Amino acid sequence: MMIRESAASMAAALASKEISAVDLANQHYDQITAVDKDVHAFLYLDKEGALAHAAEVDKKRAAGEKLSPLAGVPLALKDVLTQKGIPTTCGSKILEGWRPPYDSTVVTKLKSAGIVILGKTNMDEFAMGSSTENSAFGPTKNPWDLTRIPGGSGGGSSASLAAYEAPLAIGTDTGGSIRQPAAVTGTVGVKPTYGGVSRYGLVAFSSSLDQAGPCARSVLDTALLHQVIAGFDPKDSTSINQNVPDVVAAAKKQDIKGMKIGVVKQLSGNGYQKGVENKFKESLDELVKLGAEIVEVSCPNFEYALAAYYLIAPSECSSNLARFDSIRFGLRVGDDGSKSAEEVMNLTRAAGFGREVKRRIILGTYALSSGYYDAYYGSAQKVRTLIKRDFESAFTKCDVLVSPTAPTTAFKIGEKTNDPLAMYLNDIATIPVNMAGIGGMSLPCGLAEEDNLPVGFQIMSPAMKDDRMYLVGGALEATLNNKWGKPILDFAPNLAASK
């Protein structure tokens, strides 16, 4: 069984024909059958399509065709990216029955690289949440402790990695939805520079913040996937027409001597779990041993980031989600011939949208309304500019910035569902990255002493300098794995079915 190997190791075994892509996919489907009834990482499995694609990869390899480095490696896809003919729900009842007529650019690139898409993963409805409890199809469980959340909104993708159901996954990150799930599941997740990966076919929540990105169990695997999905796309007006940095070479280098690493003063301290702080500080010590210089930097406007985010993101979501009108696609309620189009629309939205989505639509509509636009949305955009300037100033003093990824380890399912503000605070360290459009990575840095659950270490890099976070992340991961004697997921107690 290869399911516990890295994606890089799987790729090498496939290239040397030690295993076929079909056999590798079937091993992962066997694991999904064994554990997903408990984890609930997947919403839809495309076994027939995946095995057909895997067989095609095997045929090309047998014929001696030159293939992508990851050809034949399986992947789990967050259910917010369109895949032609495959149900795409965004975790919402309102998209029930919708099968997109086109592939997103990310999916097009995955298919071109020969990556085998196993299925679509669970998520908070329309990517709104930090726990995957807002999914209309039930919560995903954290493989470390099935009573706890796997993070959100991309908890299905991160849980699939931690449960060895897939070696690679795609997530999306609007305010931390790749990095926070990575932190609480002991996996690696990267939010690339905004515009570095195409948003074409990514169902929009907040268009100026949403960004698709790679998820895996190691920094190198994440870099290999990043290299596949990144690059300019003329179909996306926000796509950056620049060469993608060599993130794979950076992940392999593991030499950070002389680098200046900035600790953001505002992203630690009060509100952070003691075990999270301790593991973060221990990781800083390891970076010093590797030859890096640690400097403290102040980003004073970060304290306003959460408030500004919860004006900008709901405002954009109230606009984007207006397209779900019961007429063009998805759910339609009450259409018995006796009601007007407006009545059907109202009934459909009432039945199709969940509580958190409705909350954010109402918040955003209010913030954009006449007489309040400048006071709320306009002011929040000004704060966003100040946050961007804080980052620009900080990056004149250091190469990357670091912080804990999330203020706590994984909390219990149901613990924060009735307290929206407590839930929103889970993204307090990740939101500034989205507001500025820069790159951010989370990788595991140990287990908190209070609960023996994973802690995430966040690395932030300047726009289109994503290679820097892979350089630091690869070096830190290598030294920590050497210190622990094995990867962090080998410490997880609830993965017996995968061993």
Instruction: Name the 3-class secondary structure at 385.
Output: helix
CA distance 181 to 142: 9
Give 250-299 as a DSSP string: HHHH---TT-EEEEEGGGSSTTS-HHHHHHHHHHHHHHHHTT-EEEEE--
* Residues 364 and 319 sit within 8 Å (Cβ to Cβ): yes
Q: Tokens standing for 303?
A: 């304290």
Tell me which residue of 87, 112, 108 sits closest to 235, measured CA to CA: 108
Q: How many CA atoms lie within 13 A of 284 on its CB side?
A: 20
Backbone angles phi, psi at 403, to 5 degrees: -165, 170
Q: How far is CA 354 from the centre of its chain?
A: 21
Q: Which one-letter DSSP state was computed for residue 412?
A: B
Residue 285's Cβ-count burial label (10 Å; 0-12, 13-18, 19+) is exposed
Q: Tokens standing for 23?
A: 């056999």
CA distance 169 to 166: 7
* Residues 148 and 451 sit within 8 Å (Cβ to Cβ): no
- Catalytic residue set: 78, 153, 177
